[in-house]
Structure 1
Amino acid sequence: MLPWTDRFRTGQARGNETMPEDGRPALPDLAAIAGFAEPSAMAVAVLEGPARRLRYLNPAGLAAIGRDATALLGRPLAEALPALGPESHAILERVRRSGAPQRLAGLALPLGADPARRWDIELSALRGACGGIAGVLALLREAPAEQAARATLDALFRHIPEGLILAAAPDVRLTRVSEHALRLVGRDAAEVLGQAAALHPATWQVYHADGTTLARPEELPLTRAVQRGETARHETWVLRRRDGTPLPILCSAGPIREGDGPVQGGILCFRDVTDLHRTEAALATQEARYRALVEAGALAVWIAAPDGSLRDAARWSWLTGQSTSAAGGLGWLEAVHPQDRDRVAARWRDAIEAGAAFEAEYRIHTPQGWRWTAARAVPRRDAAGRILEWVGANTDIEARTLAQAALRASEERFRTLAEAMPHLVWQSDATGRPDYLNGRWRAVTGLGLAAVAEGGWLAALHPEDAAQRRPGWMAALAEGTDYDADARIRTAAGSYRWNRLRAAPVRDAEGRILHWVGTCTDVDARHQAEERLREALAAQDRLLREAEHRIRNSLQLVAALLRLQAARMPEAAAREALEAATARVQAVAEAHRALQRSPDLRSVRLSDMLRELAAGASVQHPGSDIRIAAPDSLALDAERAIPLALVLADLVAEAVRRRRPLGLGHPVWLEAAAEAGRLAVSVADGVIGLPEDSPAGRLDETVIRALARQIGAEIRRESRDGGGTRVTLHLALEQVAGGRDGPRV
């Protein structure tokens, strides 16, 4: 392994930089960190900058990841360890930004060959000479429970007299092989570790039970366990050693999962059954009378005299380790568990006295320890009906009994948890028929199992919600997917409260749905708050629209008063000034009318505003022909709409006052369009003559340009081909928040 200084220089070369990222503070001297980190059993890493670039890894860190320093140092963490999830990056970024240390216990990280390995982690901010945060120091130590489990696994792989192999998903890459397995096959660990499924048959030379057909990778028990989630039990295969010697092996394999999660790997156990095959062949020849029962699953077949004393105890002795003399008579009861012995003895005496079949389940002592069995014995009678002997058998039910005990414990834990939860909890069978309701469900809804037997949990919902939620629940039942929805549940008091409904299927090892578990969480307060918010927003919208309506009416009233006053003015200049003021007030009113049509009162559809301006100008100048052209999709914020309306109203008034040749139609065009990411609004006419206006009737050019600057618009005048004038205002499509100095890109 390289010294830490060489590893650090290697990281610099790969990162192709010697300065801190983005001008941030430089890391402290790594020599101080390496001084304690190099001999440490903890994994120590130094991450620099926002990219969390790996600047240092001690030997323990490199060993945990299982990769060379040149492949890691100098790289951003996301590139060096792409399997790390976004949660890990988010935690590191919080430490780097806030400087607050983080302690995490029992966290599974996808490092090295074992992605489920758990770590206790300490994260601290590293500060440079200036005091600024330059990076993060990460200390990882294997979790105590993980260490104990790994120590147990190490001992198992070193000492168990059977072949053990661990493989990781998804490519069935071998991560660990026991010493006994290597001895059986005659290979070194370096030859087999790291292999994927495609290489297993070639390296291990695995054949089918016939010893001549080479196995394909997908047929092997370990491959099936990892890639299909299958469990293989006691399968016979033939393994050829390096020297070509065939070795019959008995294999069992299964997938490795964490809870109900996806398959993370698999384990294979195999053993040399050469001697076992010889023994079985001998026993098959010698014990033909017991073969059928043994093949049917019996652990031991025994014969008892009519009085119940054990007479043929060979298989019983083989099973329990008792000598045939010790097991004779009623001595076999000494091999029965003390807690079961009296019960079994009493039932055996009752069967002997009644001459009826004997059945009992009890534990017997075997060389491997206590084991659950199911015993059954029946009398064999002669033609006269007298009992000649009792023929009995003990069948292994250890797995079934343990499974039943585990199931009972699991159900008890579920019931305890469900009764303690502050939620309504229910369970149903695979078809959705409830078979359990916790106490809180019954207390809140007043409904028991009988009341919801037919309709299921839907029976507790508001009728409207039940009708709406039924199709989704039926689809979840049919597809086996999780269900999540909100609905109102009727309480025992007759009121309704909103609840969050969640349900998920519980499956067996083969993926079949066993039952459904669901919860109902009270979210009525949230729904009530949302309803109040909707009502408040609706009231606010009504007030705004009423205010806009009153503003528009007030402006209309002002315009009417100005128009009335203008009609009474004898001086032409004063009259024109009042008429121009009327037009501007009318323009503002028309902009407010367009704004009132907006769905959100924050923007004006330009086509509506131009249409209102054209209608107002036609009233002021009867006989004028004013036309508009604007797509309905263009909109402008209300803040800029009114100044723009004032400018456009004055430009339209200027255009309609121009002299027009007799007999010719010369419309004035109000147009709006989006051009190159900006809004272009123009007033155009085709008149050649000069305008018939007076200084009193025109908006001062300085004022027009001031209004244009206010909305960030540029004004351009140009002569049209064939005569006439076009005035165009260019402005941003959207107003930038925070100022009125014009749009910003």
Structure 2
Amino acid sequence: MPDDAGGSVPEIEAIRAFAETSPAAVAVLAGPSHRVLYLNPAFGAICVEDPESLLCRPAAEAIPELAVGGFLATLDRVRTSGQPYRATARSLPVGRPGRVFDAEVSAIRGRDGTLCGVLVQLRDVTEAEARLHRAEAAAAVLDAVFEHAPVGLAVAAEPESRSIRVSRHGLGMAGREPAELLAGLVSHRPAGWGIFHRDGETPARPEELPLVRALHQGEAVSRQHWVLRGEDGTARRVQCTAAPVRDGAGRIAGGLLAWGEPWDPGERPLPPIDARYRALVETGALAVWTTTADGSLISIGGWASLTGQSPAEVIGWGWLDAIHPEDRPLVHDRWSRAVASGRVYEAEYRLRGPRGECRWTAARAAPLRDGDGAIREWLGVNMDIDDRKQAERALRESEARFRILAEAMPHLVWQTDAAGEPDYVNGRWSEVTGHDLAGLRGGGWLAVLHPEDRSALAAAWAKVLAVGGDLDADARILTRDGRYRWHRVKAAPVRSPAGAIRHWVGTCTDVDQSHSAEAQLREALAARELLAREADHRIKNSLQLVAALLRLQAGRVTEPAAREALEAATARVQAVAEAHRALQLSPDFRSIRLSDMLRELATGAAAQHPAADIRIDAEDGLTLDAERAIPLALILSELVTNALRHAYPGGAAGPVYVAARLEAGAILAEVRDAGSGVPAGATVSLGETVVRSLAKQIGAVIVSEQSPGGGTRVTLRLALESDTPG
């Protein structure tokens, strides 16, 4: 294809040398149509195509998804400007839905140095982005814990550098310096503070502190008592728990320290959850529980408010009795599997409330291990998710009603996900087009459209996907019998309560008969206009023939009055013919450009009076409806004839000015001369009668005046729009 590359093509072999084994998808495209010259195996895998089958084809045909996503415009800019394009984590309409790529597009020069193509490299970063999002979500959860948890928390992220993060509650309870001392971050004693064993007298060595032991020995320390003492004698008693945090290889990557509020002097053991945290649990319909390593329940907070079970009823496996009978086997199985495997436990099920009502809850539990990695106990939590489940059920019921309605409709009904990928079509769609859902995915829906309609509809769809608006367009759809029929294509987004687009719902309504009727109407109107123009042309020719006959007859009449009457009649017939000629020049055959009409009148008057000097002036674009334009032409013809006969006596020559303009929302047409002026009573009675009668017919106001510099000015004012009923 010489027209694509202009005689210059990229060097493929040099690119092939590195691209064949590259994990990135590499493509070489040439010329304005981006003809596919090379695709490496990785690119073929993305397209789920044999790369060889796509070669030498324009990119819009070989990979039509690129046209839908607007990526071809990016390729055009790079090829024509030579400026590279780079994007990270971009969603491209290639491969499986929902995948994102790091994209890089570079211009390629041929041997003669001219820009002849582009090199496209796509790196699939879908999994990396997913991991990043999960990491961000985990970081957000950690931030929330450190901001709101009603216990003292400290995390050492790096064992050697001892980078410490302390919770807001921990800082408020102990202060920064005591908290850092408690975590072993400083080996010296901060001003005014010391840390002692539970007797309050024996100073603690740094290596004895719980977090230090967890970091350096991998030791899990549970509920140890320490005393923070100030120089003023103030003592703060705390209970500390610490554990190491290990990476996937089992190496210590950090440590966690938790401490509780002071206990009473009788050293009665604190409950596992302090009073404020328990209040938070109960008001949030949240239950926190612990079990032994074999899964038997030890303690539970907030469970009574959820289920009404007493502590004695829930111990061991008694908590299963509060679960809905239909969900109980699933929960038992999952919990047993989690305990046996040591993996995180997750389940959603219905709990029976104190009054017998059932609500959905989500349970999650994780094992707590000792320094040797053995499970010491399990820590779990239950959250009330009944509102979410009810919303999901309502959504499912709504979707079911939508499907029933869609299947019953005579229209083609379809639905896509938020990115525009089809995920449902009704039976009518398959019945009419012969295409199923699978054939429409990945841009396959474009093949159903008429080739002339594809680019316009694809661009309109891409626009509404980008801005979230509605789609309303007409396109021809290929039916099962091989014919194209016009359809009105409409779509609208369905949004979540937060405003995010969940999916799109669309319909295609057959409007082929309407389009056919409109086409027939246009053809009929065109034929009618052609016929009218032909008729008007014949009328003009007939009038000119009559004018010629009258002119011939006037030349043979010797009686002056009779000759003058014949000449006046000739001028009037000629004026009507000239107005019809101006109508022939009209673009819509309903109005006449006044500049055309005045030009034709001047030409006709010059034929009657060869020595006449008629000067016209009309604003461009000023038009008048044909019903009033022809009478106006007769009026102006009478006034011009009078001026030519009477303004310059004795056969003198002089100009006659004919003008038309728009002023204050009305059309002003005037005829004036620079001679001695038309004497009073000079107009023959018939001509004056014609002028007055026609002016009244078109609603024009006539004003005649003598110009200060000599001559006569006759002005006609008439409305821009006719107020005469049609």
TM-score band, normalised by shorter chain: 0.5 to 0.7
CA contact (8 A) 1:552 1:592 kept: yes
Q: What residue is the counterpart of 1:450 in the other structure?
A: 438
Alpha-carbon shift at residue 628 of structure 1 (Å): 1.8
Separation in structure 2 between the aligned mates of residue 376 and residue 633 of structure 1, nearest angstrom: 78
Contact 1:362 1:374 in 2 (8 A): yes
Tell me the distance in 2 between the aligned counterparts of 1:442 and 1:735: 55
Q: For the structure 1 residues 625 and 285, does the alpha-carbon distance in structure 2 shift closer, same or farther, using more than 3 Å as the test? A: same
Paired residues for 1:229-628 under 5 Å: 285-287=270-272, 299-303=287-291, 310=296, 312=298, 318=304, 320-323=307-310, 325-327=312-314, 331-342=318-329, 361-367=348-354, 369-373=357-361, 391=378, 393=380, 395-396=382-383, 398-399=385-386, 401-455=389-443, 457-569=445-557, 571-628=559-616
Return the alpha-carbon distance in structure 1 between the equivalents of residues 706 and 338 of structure 2.
121
Question: Following the alignment from structure 1 to structure 2, what is the Cα–Cα distance between the partners of residues 720 and 383?
Answer: 117
Superposition deviation, residue 346 in structure 1 = 6.6
1:632-711 matches, cutoff 5 A: 632-658=620-646, 660=648, 665-674=653-662, 678-688=666-676, 699-711=686-698
Distance 1:569 1:460, change over 3 A: same
**AA matched with 1:639:** E
Q: Please state whether the residue corresponding to 1:301 is helix, strand or coil.
A: strand
- For the structure 1 residues 689 and 524, does the alpha-carbon distance in structure 2 shift closer, same or farther, using more than 3 Å as the test? closer
8 Å Cα contact 2:632-2:695 kept in structure 1 = yes
- Contact 1:284/1:291, CA 8 A, preserved across alignment: no
**What's 1:123 paired with?**
none
Contact 1:563 1:579 in 2 (8 A): yes
Within 2, Cα distance between the matches of 1:290 and 1:708? 100
CA contact (8 A) 2:297 2:317 kept: no
**Deviation (angstroms), 1:705:** 3.2
Residue 435 of structure 1 aligns to a residue whose secondary structure is strand
List per-residue Cα deviations over 1:224-277 (Å, max 9, x = no partner). xxxxxxxxxxxxxxxxxxxxxxxxxxxxxxxxxxxxxxxxxxxxxxxxxxxxxx
Task: Please tell me the residue identity of whatever aligns with 2:441.
Answer: A
Question: Could you list the per-position Cα deviations for residues 409-466 of structure 1 after superposition, in whole angstroms to 9, with x for gaps in the alignment?
Answer: 3433333333233332222222211122222222222222322212165443222222
In the TM superposition, residue 619 of structure 1 has moved relative to its aligned partner by 1.0
Please give the per-residue CA displacement for 1:648-695, whole angstroms capped at 9, x wherever unaligned. Answer: 32332333234858997512222334455554433333344999x999
C-alpha displacement of 1:521: 2.4
Higher RCO (CA < 8 A, seq sep 6+) = 2
Change (3 A) 1:404 1:683: closer
* 1:339 partner SS: coil
- Mark the CA change 1:283 to 1:658 in structure 2 (over 3 Å): closer, same or farther: farther
Unaligned runs of 5+ in 1: 1-209, 211-277, 740-745
The letter of the residue matching 2:272 is: E
2:473 is paired with a residue of what secondary structure? strand
TM alignment of 1:173-252, pairs within 5 A: none
Summarize the Cα distance change of 1:408–1:709 in structure 2 as closer, same or farther, 3 Å threshold: closer
Contact 1:337 1:364 in 2 (8 A): yes
**Bigger shift: 451-460 or 297-306?**
297-306
Other-structure match for 1:275: none
Q: Which amino acid aligns with 1:501?
A: V
CA distance in 2, matches of 1:435, 1:712: 66
Percent identity among equivalent residues?
Answer: 56
How far apart are 1:539 and its partner, in Å? 1.9
CA distance in 1, matches of 2:695, 2:293: 118
Residue 589 of structure 1: how far off its partner (Å): 0.7
What pairs up with 1:111-190 in 2 under 5 angstroms?
none
Alpha-carbon distance in 1 for matches of 2:365, 2:667: 98
Question: 1: CA distance between counterparts of 2:712 and 2:428?
Answer: 80
Structure 2 counterpart of 1:638, which letter? A
Deviation at 1:551, TM superposition (A): 0.5
Q: Is the contact made by 2:706 and 2:712 (CA closer than 8 Å) also made in structure 1?
A: yes
> Which deviates further from its counterpart, 440-449 or 372-381?
372-381
State whether residues 505 and 513 of structure 1, in contact with CA within 8 Å, keep that contact through their aligned partners in structure 2. Answer: yes
Amino acid at match of 1:499: H
Residue identity in the other structure for 1:334: D
What code does the residue aligned with 1:706 have?
S
| 584-593 vs 500-509, which moves further | 500-509
- For 1:18-97, what aligned pairs fall within 5 Å after superposition? none
The residue type equivalent to 1:470 in the other structure is A
Using the TM superposition, give the Cα deviation of residue 548 of structure 1 relative to its aligned residue in structure 2, in angstroms: 0.9
Evaluate the alpha carbon distance shift between residue 737 and residue 394 of structure 1 in structure 2; reply closer, same or farther with a 3 A threshold.
same
CA distance in 1 between counterparts of 2:369 and 2:624 reads 105
Q: How far apart, CA to CA, are the structure 2 residues paired with 1:375 and 1:724?
A: 105
Contact conserved, 2:647 with 2:674, CA < 8 A, in 1?
Answer: no
Summarize the Cα distance change of 1:554–1:292 in structure 2 as closer, same or farther, 3 Å threshold.
same
1:549 to partner: Cα distance:
0.7
Q: Distance in 1 between matches of 2:313 and 2:501?
A: 50
- Measure the CA separation in 2 of the matches of 1:403 and 1:680: 71
Deviations 1:347-396 (A, max 9, x none): 777889999998765434342643444567899999999x9998474633
CA contact (8 A) 2:474 2:488 kept: yes
Q: 644-653 or 674-683, which moves further after superposition?
A: 674-683
**Change beyond 3 A, Cα 1:336–1:392:** farther
Q: TM-score, normalised by structure 2?
A: 0.53
Separation in 2 of the partners of 1:428 and 1:626? 71
Q: For residues 130-186 of structure 1, give each alpha carbon's deviation from its aligned partner in whole angstroms, at most 9, with x where no partner exists.
A: xxxxxxxxxxxxxxxxxxxxxxxxxxxxxxxxxxxxxxxxxxxxxxxxxxxxxxxxx
Q: Which residue of 2 aligns with 1:8?
A: none
Give the Cα separation in 2 of the matches to 1:321 and 1:482. Answer: 51
Distance in 1 separating the partners of 2:703 and 2:338? 115
Query: RMSD between aligned alpha carbons?
Result: 4.6
Stretches of structure 2 that go unaligned for 5 or more consecutive residues are 1-171, 173-262
* CA gap 1:383/1:507 in 2 versus in 1, 3 angstroms: closer
- C-alpha distance in structure 2 between counterparts of 1:527 and 1:305, whole Å: 75
Distance 1:532 1:287, change over 3 A: same
Q: Is the 8 A contact 1:377 1:392 kept in 2?
A: yes
Counterpart CA distance in 2 for 1:350 and 1:717 is 109
Task: Supply the AA of the counterpart residue of 2:723.
Answer: V
Q: 1:436 touches 1:449 (CA, 8 Å); kept in 2?
A: yes
Partners of 2:676 and 2:344 lie apart in 1 by: 123
Residue by residue over 1:453-504, the C-alpha shift from the partner in whole angstroms, topping out at 9 and shown as x without a partner, is: 1216544322222211222322222222222222222222222222222222
Rg (Cα) greater in structure: 2
SS of residue paired to 1:670: strand
CA distance in 2, matches of 1:617, 1:367: 107
